[in-house]
Amino acid sequence: MAPPDRPTIELWFEFASTYSYLAVWRAAELVHGAGLDLRWRPFLLGPVFQAQGWNDSPFNIYPVKGRSMWRDMERQCQEAGMPFRRPTRFPRNGLLAARVALLGSAEAWCPEFVRRVYHMNFAEDRDIADEAEIVGLLDSMGLDGRELCIRSRSTENKEQLRQQTEEAMRLGIFGAPTLVVGSELFWGNDRLEQAVAWARQGAKPGARPPQAPDRRS
Amino acid sequence: MAPPDRPTIELWFEFASTYSYLAVWRAAELVHGAGLDLRWRPFLLGPVFQAQGWNDSPFNIYPVKGRSMWRDMERQCQEAGMPFRRPTRFPRNGLLAARVALLGSAEAWCPEFVRRVYHMNFAEDRDIADEAEIVGLLDSMGLDGRELCIRSRSTENKEQLRQQTEEAMRLGIFGAPTLVVGSELFWGNDRLEQAVAWARQGAKPGARPPQAPDRRS
């Protein structure tokens, strides 16, 4: 275990979120490579969007923005060397996967599970809302998929995911992915480097952001 | 003048847009440094937002998102070494400045004018909607501010700005800044490097995006 005072980055993610796929793909390597801890914080965007008056993804509500996002995802994945296939259904319901991820959020299998769920959704176009898919994925990781899915639906775990989503809203989170370092919020995969630089500086209250390396070159 | 077949990046911007300030600050150096031409395309976000059902900036309509944007601007400007002061009024009306910029969009003074208007708005908290401010700025650049403002209100120039805003919507532009390279749209200051890399590759129809340098380090 890392010493308790090691700086931590919280990665708040939702399995239906396209840009979370980009962040989850690279977060662990980047954060651990910087000597920091990474805390996985699954939550649900549905209630967050509802609080803003939306009953669907803003990428569906505003199709012009949606078209741009899908093209951007293609280019971003290409640049990062990540497989990508636009899902035939969007957004997919990530509730079960989020409950399982929450159950395992302190377990060694969590990062791989999270990455592979995103891969199913955004590279394989498979339905992550289908319990058989999640069970199969967990089983293929050497876990007991059926039992984990049952435990993920315990009253306690369901309530904990609700509370985690409420905590997201209290923190001012309005989209995913969001990186949280102390009291600082960084929205989007594009801010992962800045969040890491901030956390390395110690994230002192009132501290100014560090000078990050020039990314213009 | 550059040869006509030199790859061009169009920078679509709106003077009220916070993230356009970041893009305008660095675009010319980055684009020209890559051997490309830069075309300045002022337009108005008001009609674009109205088409999406908004009668104000989404950063005002969704205050949680707005709070995050202002903090992000502070950090981004700090990282880029740019002065920043949150304007006491947002969004400011950039209509006059956009008309003047359009009038000068092929003139040598355009880039400096554009940068200095953003500086007034986002570093000095001065009212860019005030004609006296725009006249004073143009005068300080050795131009005839009063005459340029009068010409910017000609029927022809006003109509041209309307048409440019309509062209933005036809292109699928929904926010600013947007970089346009051939038929590709790149939304946001964060995509400036990718737009440059794309343009350098020749922006052939159907071409795949180039592998950009790794920005993780």
Question: Residue A182: exposed, middle, or buried by beta-carbon count in 10 A (0-12, 13-18, 19+)?
Answer: middle
pLDDT of B81 = 97
* B200 has a chain A CB within 8 A of its CB: no
> Using CA of residue A172, residue B70, residue A179, residue A61, what is the dihedral sign?
positive
The least confident of A53-57, A98-102, A156-160, B64-68 is: A53-57
* A162 has a chain B CB within 8 A of its CB: no
> Using CA of residue A14, residue A19, residue A21, residue A27, what is the dihedral sign?
negative
Tens of pLDDT, residue by residue over B71-94, are 999 999 999 999 999 999 999 999
Q: Is a pLDDT exceeding 50 seen at residue A2?
A: no
Give the start-end residues of each E strand in chain B.
8-13, 37-42, 178-181, 184-187
Tens of pLDDT, residue by residue over B174-186, are 999 999 999 999 9
Mean pLDDT of B166-192: 97
Q: Is a pLDDT exceeding 50 seen at residue A213?
A: no
Q: Is a pLDDT exceeding 60 seen at residue A143?
A: yes
Residues of A in contact with B194 (CB under 8 A): 75, 79
> Phi-psi bin for B142: left (phi > 0), alpha (psi -120 to 50), beta?
left
Mean pLDDT of B91-104: 98
Q: Is a pLDDT exceeding 50 seen at residue B62?
A: yes
Residues of B in contact with A79 (CB under 8 A): 194, 209, 211-212
By Cβ distance, the residue of B78, B172, B216 closest to A68 is: B172
| ∠ CA B164-B170-B174, rounded to 5° | 85
pLDDT grade for A202, boundaries at 50, 70 and 90? confident
- Distances, alpha carbon B19 to alpha carbons A103, A139, B92, B184, in Å: 39, 46, 14, 19
Separation of alpha carbons A82 and A77, rounded Å: 5
Written as six digits, the tokens of B161 are 């700005």
Nearest residue of chain B to residue A175 (CA atoms): B65
Q: A30 and B71: CB-CB below 8 Å?
A: no
- Between residues 110 and 149 of chain B, which touch chain A (CB distance below 8 Å)? none
pLDDT of B208 = 52
Q: B186 and A72: CB-CB below 8 Å?
A: yes
Separation of alpha carbons B60 and B57, rounded Å: 5
Q: Is a pLDDT exceeding 80 seen at residue A109?
A: yes
Rounded to two decimals, the pTM is: 0.91
Share above pLDDT 90 across residues of chain B, in percent, rounded to a whole number: 88
Å from A5 to nearest chain B CA? 24
pLDDT grade for A208, boundaries at 50, 70 and 90? low
Mean pLDDT of A26-36: 96
Mean pLDDT of chain A: 92
Q: What ipTM did this prediction achieve?
A: 0.90
Å from A62 to nearest chain B CA? 7
Q: B75 and A187: CB-CB below 8 Å?
A: no
